[in-house]
Amino acid sequence: MFWYILIALLVGVLLGRVWAMFIRPEPAGFRREGSRGSTNYILGLNYLISNQTDLAILELGKAAKLDSKTVEVFITLGNLFREKGHVERAIQIHKGVLHRSNLSNVERNQALLCLGIDFKKAGIIDRAIGIFEELIQRDPDNINGYLNLAELYEELMEWEKAYAAHEKVLQMGYTANRMALGFIQNELGLISLGEKDYPGAIKRFQKAISSDPTVYPAYINLGDAYLENGEVPLAINCWEKLVAISPLKSYLVFDRLKKAYEMVEELDRYKSLLVRLARENQKDWRVRIALAEHDRENGRAKKAYRWLLEASRVNPHSLTIHQFFWRLLLEEGLPRDKVEEYVDTTREMVFFLDPYICLKCHYKTTELLWRCPHCHAWNSFVEEKL
């Protein structure tokens, strides 16, 4: 945000210069200073660069009093108030700018963008959407207008509209939102799946994956759609693809694959897949849990117990593993040697629910989320290493 303010300011300064030089030539000998030339303005800029927001507000406030005509000073002041959490003040200032009759197009668009961001920050979503819609109507190439709209529509889960806004941004050559496009297409696919429109859902999930191959839930859901559509081998194929491209996420499809292998009467494939994954990654504790579960179900409690011991060594903090241990020990009638071995192994361990953390904002959760509820990033959660 700081960089945004700074860039907005510099653009403002530049536009001011251009305005002064070409658009409004002054008579010879007259030098237009205004608030932009004032000491307060320069000081304010310096404070802004060194991140001293309060002092920047103070100096820019003085500059604004000296010359109430200079739009960019007011826009920046409003942005600084917003950043300090005084959103109402920011809205007041930006509205004040928009009420001026002599604004240039660029100035009006910039003030609209800032007012929209104020409303967004205040949580007044409908007003923010109204402002950004107005902005893109006035300036159809305004990438920030579309990006803000996309985020708000995502917030409201209006996926069609969010997709359209992202698509517009992509057409303008900004490709960093391909992942968002993929995830939104995945959401649209889930709607089709809910309506039992399997061919429609399949198309959408395929499109999601081709937008961005890291839209992992699309592989899971595409498999579900194939399965519902009676195409079991295609479903298996799809889930195995997820295992291949992201082995650490493969636990998300273990149950599905097991069921599907059973349906085609090839359950052996399940066990050999798990064994292979465990061999390929010594630190994958979830595959060890799956192996333990598989052995337990097939009456091999001792083997299951060995897998759990391995899993607990890889991830000593996982409460999931320890709950499984006790379930298994209870089922086996609490054999004394096994309980003692368990107590010995886990004496120093601290247990937690398996935590996930957002790489962008460090938001924590105990379930894997695809979109961060805090910073709104897609695909930003990883398992937290303790």
Instruction: For residues 341 and 322, give the distance between their C-alpha atoms in angstroms, rounded to a whole number.
Output: 13
Stretch that binds Zn ion, among 43-51, 222-230, 260-268, 373-381 (CB under 5 A): 373-381
Give me the amino acid identity at 237: N
Residues 115-154: x where in contact with Zn ion by CB under 5 A, - otherwise, as a string: ----------------------------------------
Cα dihedral sign, 211-216-219-225: negative
Structure tokens at 135: 């902005």
Question: Which residue number, 172 or 361, has a Cβ lying nearer to Zn ion?
Answer: 361
Least distance CB 65 / Zn ion (angstroms):
40
Question: Which residue number, 214 or 346, has a Cβ lying nearer to Zn ion?
Answer: 214
Asked if 271 interacts with Zn ion (CB under 5 A), we say: no
* Residue 347: CB atoms within 10 Å: 7
Question: Which residue number, 49 or 361, has a Cβ lying nearer to Zn ion?
Answer: 361
Least distance CB 290 / Zn ion (angstroms):
29
Q: Name the nearest CA neighbour of 35 among 5, 9, 3, 60.
A: 60
Question: Which residue number, 4 or 363, has a Cβ lying nearer to Zn ion?
Answer: 363
Least distance CB 225 / Zn ion (angstroms):
29
Site for Zn ion in 306-365 (CB under 5 A): 358, 360-361, 363
Least distance CB 360 / Zn ion (angstroms):
4
Asked if 372 interacts with Zn ion (CB under 5 A), we say: yes
For residue 127, give Cα distances in angstroms to 121, 132, 176: 11, 9, 27
Least distance CB 372 / Zn ion (angstroms):
3
Asked if 374 interacts with Zn ion (CB under 5 A), we say: yes
Which of 10, 375, 382, 386 binds Zn ion (CB under 5 A)? It is 375
Least distance CB 220 / Zn ion (angstroms):
22
Quickly tell me which residue has 């007012």 as its tokens. Answer: 115
For residue 241, give Cα distances in angstroms to 170, 218, 223, 226, 250: 27, 11, 10, 14, 9
Quickly tell me which residue has 């000081």 as its tokens. Answer: 43
Instruction: For residues 228 and 182, give the distance between their C-alpha atoms in angstroms, rounded to a whole number.
Output: 22
Q: What is the side-by-side order of every strand in the sheet holding 364-365? A: 364-365, 356-358, 381-383
Per the CB < 8 A criterion, the answer to whether 20 and 26 are in contact is yes
* Residue 89: CB atoms within 10 Å: 17
Per the CB < 8 A criterion, the answer to whether 6 and 48 are in contact is yes
Residue 157: helix, strand or coil by DSSP? coil
For residue 269, give Cα distances in angstroms to 127, 252, 305: 55, 17, 22
Question: Which residue number, 348 or 367, has a Cβ lying nearer to Zn ion?
Answer: 367
Asked if 180 interacts with Zn ion (CB under 5 A), we say: no
Stretch that binds Zn ion, among 109-117, 138-146, 243-251, 367-375 (CB under 5 A): 367-375
Count of chain residues binding Zn ion (CB under 5 A): 7
Stretch that binds Zn ion, among 43-51, 152-160, 165-173, 375-383 (CB under 5 A): 375-383
Least distance CB 181 / Zn ion (angstroms):
19
Question: Which residue number, 41 or 378, has a Cβ lying nearer to Zn ion?
Answer: 378
Residue 98: helix, strand or coil by DSSP? helix
Residues 47-76: x where in contact with Zn ion by CB under 5 A, - otherwise, as a string: ------------------------------
CA 192, chain centre distance (Å) = 23
Which stretch of DSSP H or E encloses residue 364?
strand 364-365
Stretch that binds Zn ion, among 158-166, 175-183, 241-249, 374-382 (CB under 5 A): 374-382
Question: Which residue number, 162 or 291, has a Cβ lying nearer to Zn ion?
Answer: 162
- Residues at the contact surface with Zn ion, assessed by CB under 5 A: 358, 360-361, 363, 372, 374-375
